[in-house]
Amino acid sequence: MIPRALEVAVVHHRTPTMLARCLEALARHAPDVDVRVVDTAFDPSLPRQLDGIHPRVTWTAAPNHSLAAAVNAALRLSRKPFLVHMNADVFVAPRTLADLLAAALADERIAMAGPLARTPAGHAQDLGVPYRLHYARLRWQERHAGGEAAAVDVPWLSGCMQLVRMSAVRRVGGMDASLRFYNEDLDWSLRLRRAGFGLRLVATEVVHEGGASTPSGTRFLLEGLRGGFVVSRRYTPPVVRAAHRLGVLAAAEIAARTASDDDARTAWREVARRFRSGELERSAFGPTLSDPS
């Protein structure tokens, strides 16, 4: 049933060792499922190096614009009712795909399902203090679940791995490629919920290394904070938006004076300038993550 219902897209950027481990896990637990590697720094020799790891792999080259752009490329090529997109630093377990699919099939209003992602040390992925409540609800459900993996409705799901219902995507669209660094999956989740769909966190575990291909620097800091405010402006009341902007501005003003090195102070000065002027629609990046805006 799984091979007919879904396909997998693995988003990869210059972490071939992790990609090999990712494909090995998929081959071990889902050898009959079609897998597409969306590579944002495509090296023609890599498919040859990894040949034979998974029997049903195809490759698609994409510009290094954003996670959203890579996921959207996979969505455009998808031909099955469900697509699972995942980072190359995510490693599935025996029942990951089956449990995510079952959670979506149990209720047609569910547009997205995500796993319980754990760090290599075994800790639940840190998605902020409010998300700990959802983890607690999931643990409670686990104690009372029957044969299927426990699941709870949540307001948003981590973009490290998501199963999405393609009929819902056709209704609301894919990820917003103007957003980066966790804001794209938050916006997509909220947009799906606004359209009346549900999102479900499922008690099926994956290991997520995290941060394997995300660099740091002035533009990355600015882009994350800028995108966070754009999402806030779309989905929160005016008073919350105002508090969000003033809070970031105040923190940036303090950090611009107290940060320990020149690069950090420069980064925070630029954040303060943007939030003070309201210049927040324009990305800090151009066509790729290597290009300035």
pLDDT, one tens digit per residue, over 210-247 is 755 455 566 777 888 888 898 899 999 999 999 999 99
The residue ranking higher by pLDDT, 209 or 290, is 209
How remote is the C-alpha of 156 from its chain's centroid? 10
Residues of the chain above pLDDT 90, percent: 67
Residue 288 scores a pLDDT above 60: no
pLDDT in tens, 94-125: 999 999 999 999 999 999 999 999 999 999 99
The residue ranking higher by pLDDT, 270 or 15, is 15
Q: What is the pTM of this model?
A: 0.89
pLDDT of residue 3: 73
Q: DSSP secondary-structure letter at 288?
A: S
pLDDT of residue 202: 97
Residue 188 to residues 33, 54, 75, 123, 173: CA-CA distances in angstroms? 25, 30, 13, 25, 9
Q: Which two tokens stand for residue 133?
A: 């409540």
Cα–Cα distance measured from residue 155 to residue 193, given in angstroms and rounded to the nearest whole number? 7
Of the candidates 18, 149, 152, 162, the one whose C-alpha atom is nearest the C-alpha of residue 91 is: 18
pLDDT of residue 216: 56
The pLDDT of 140-153, averaged and rounded, is 84
pLDDT of residue 243: 94
Q: Which two tokens stand for residue 104?
A: 């979506």
pLDDT of residue 127: 86
Instruction: Tell the CATH topology of 2-208.
Output: Spore Coat Polysaccharide Biosynthesis Protein SpsA; Chain A (3.90.550)
Q: Are 64 and 41 in contact (CB under 8 A)?
A: yes
Q: What are phi and psi of 149, to 5 degrees?
A: -65, 140
Residue 259 to residues 158, 231, 234, 270: CA-CA distances in angstroms? 30, 27, 31, 13
